[in-house]
Amino acid sequence: MSGVGKFIGIGVGPGPAGYIPLAAWQALQAADVILLPRAKASERSVAAECLRGLEIDATKVREVAYGMDSDRTVVRQTYAELAESIASELRAGRTVAYLTIGDSLTYSTYSYTLEALLQLLPELPHCTYPGITSYAAIASALDWPLGQGKERTLILPCPDSPEVLRAEIETHDIVVLMKIGNRLPFVLDTVKSLGISQLCAFASNIGLSGEVLCKNVDDLPADPSLGYLSTMLIRKASGGGRR
């Protein structure tokens, strides 16, 4: 597509500065525009915090505020409008980098943005760099295997009911539970009732201010505020998974 710039998706990691992969960092430095998503309800861009201490040209940076909405029509409209604004930069021949925490294509706003952009510019040159997910960072920090032998691992946005969560745990060896939010109290009740809380790891704000990191959730407070930017690693049974 002649004259159109390139769109780049970059996962900056879950928190600790320096978790951004080298190839992604080089692409970020070469970008003309750097977009930092920020939730409208938040005063900070977590993606920006993940890059604290790394040198980035501040004149290239622009924040993109987005809201959470269960209405899919509203969500589509939001990303369609965002895509229009990004497309104007791309049509001017600029390379645009869109930053997200964790990995760009794992429960990320980037995936919706890319989809909306490709509807506007079907032949858009683009590249997505893989990033480090929160659950990979937690597993590494706590020496917690995400899968051994033939263990089945499920990556799951937290269900809205303890009954559904319990069923998922009972039918998988390991559950990576994301997007916990204010459901943390019933999540803790569920793993305790199953007698596996001592096998479960938890992290919130990993690598950022207010970090909570624990390998055993027996004594983790059932504070809903801890559920923000949190992930729990749930193992159904002790011992390895080789069979």
pLDDT tens column, 78-111: 889 999 999 999 999 999 999 999 999 999 889 9
Average pLDDT of the residues in 113-142? 95
Dist. CA 11–CA 9, nearest whole Å = 7
pLDDT tens column, 32-82: 999 998 776 666 778 888 888 788 888 999 988 776 666 677 778 888 999
Position 43: which residue type? E
To the question of pTM greater than 0.75 for the whole model, the response is yes
Nearest CA-CA partner of 147 in 233, 215, 19: 233
Nearest CA-CA partner of 52 in 81, 77, 18: 18
Residue 193, classified by CB atoms within 10 Å of its CB into exposed (0-12), middle (13-18) or buried (19+), is exposed
Q: Are 66 and 37 in contact (CB under 8 A)?
A: yes
Write the class of the CATH domain 7-129.
alpha beta
Average pLDDT of the residues in 19-30? 93
Q: Are 121 and 4 in contact (CB under 8 A)?
A: yes
Domain ranges of the chain: 7-129, 134-235
Architecture of domain 134-235: 2-Layer Sandwich (3.30)
